[in-house]
Structure 1
Amino acid sequence: MYIPFSELPPQARLWVYQANRPFTEAEQAEIKPLLERFATEWSSHGKGLQASAELLHDRFLVLANNEDATAASGCSIDASVKFVRELEQRFSVSFFDRTQLAFLKDEQVQVVGMQELKGKVAAGEIDKNTLYYDTLVNNYGDLQQAWPKPAGNSWLSRYF
């Protein structure tokens, strides 16, 4: 069962996938109905999930499920990964490159490769207060309240 993204409960579980490039407006218009259809059809052991899906900041694919209603099973999570892989092929994009980190700088999403991070920190371009889009955020409430969050409040804190 599809739930509008803005109506998810705070405890809804999230899976966040970061694209290696921003989507164009035309691509976003094409993706939106695909996301809604997936969320509508997404199920666990034959039982429909209370799910939603959204593309945020032209780059982040977020799948969500209200686990209080029905928990996602291994098979349903596998189905979501298959869906994300299909989007990758259809739009020639990668959602599984975890070496790219996204920060909010000058009101824009800026991506920094892991290999560049130490140099950017040393140069003062990234500090503990730089807002970071942590793809490890796992519930809707945290996404709404603290995303992006200061890099120093994430797993990146070891760099400061």
Structure 2
Amino acid sequence: MFVAFPSLSEEAKIWIYPSSRKFYPQEIDGLQKKLHLFVEEWKADDADFKASFELKYERFIIFSAEEGSDLTNADIETQVAFILQLQQEYEVELLDKMNVCFKQGAFIQYKDVKEFKKLLKNKSVSAKTIVFDNLVQTKGELENYWEVPITESWYSRFL
């Protein structure tokens, strides 16, 4: 069952899919409708299942399911299949985990790790640059450790 994202507990499981580009304004409404419908139908047979989504910065698709939900491998595969459909439909990359998302002024950049290392070396980004740790696993971690300076993330090993 779809519930409002803020109503989920801090222990709720999350999955973050960063987009290789910002979704265009004309895509947002349709994308949000598709995300809402997916969450509604994801485990419709389980009356106790509570899940939600957020579209952050018009770039990150974040799914969340309440801790204790009985999610099977098939349920996760269903989610990934849906993400693959979105990739094709919107012509974006959502599953590549070898990229770094970071803030540069008012913009969010999406670079491959090799290019990110070059930016660090050239001092185009610094230890204070805010990165997105898309490996966080709970809603509480999302709220507290998702947007952090490089020095407080696993990317600090590149410094």
TM-score by length of structure 1 reads 0.91
Q: Deviations over 1:14-68 (max 9, x none)?
A: 0001111110111111011111111111129x42521111211111111110023
5+ residue gaps in structure 2? none
For 1:115, the equivalent position in structure 2 comes to 114
The answer for the alignment partner of 2:52 in structure 1 is: 52
CA distance in 1: counterparts of 2:22 and 2:116, whole angstroms = 20
Whole-Å separation in 2 of the counterparts to 1:51 and 1:35:
11
SS of 2:2's equivalent in the other structure is coil
Instruction: Provide the secondary structure at the position in 1 that maps to 2:26.
Output: helix
* In structure 1, C-alpha distance between the alignment counterparts of 2:117 and 2:85, rounded to whole Å: 34
- CA deviations on 1:101-160 (whole Å, 9 max, x unpaired) are 110121221222211122211222223221101110111112122331112222212112
RMSD between superposed Cα atoms in Å: 1.6
**Equivalent position of 1:62 in the other structure:** 62
Give the equivalent residue in structure 2 for 1:90: 89
Q: Gaps spanning 5+ residues in structure 1: where?
A: none
What letter is aligned with 1:54? E
**Distance between the aligned counterparts of 2:8 and 2:127, measured in 1?**
30
SS at match of 1:38: helix
CA contact (8 A) 1:127 1:152 kept: no
Structure 1 counterpart of 2:29:
29
Q: Which letter maps to 2:152?
A: N
Matches within 5 A, 1:1-160: 1-43=1-43, 46-48=45-47, 49-68=49-68, 70-160=69-159
In the alignment, the residues of structure 2 paired with residue 9 and residue 23 of structure 1 have an alpha-carbon distance, to the nearest angstrom, of: 28
Retained in 2: the 8 A contact 1:104–1:148? no
Distance 1:71 1:155 in 2: 30
Identity %: 27
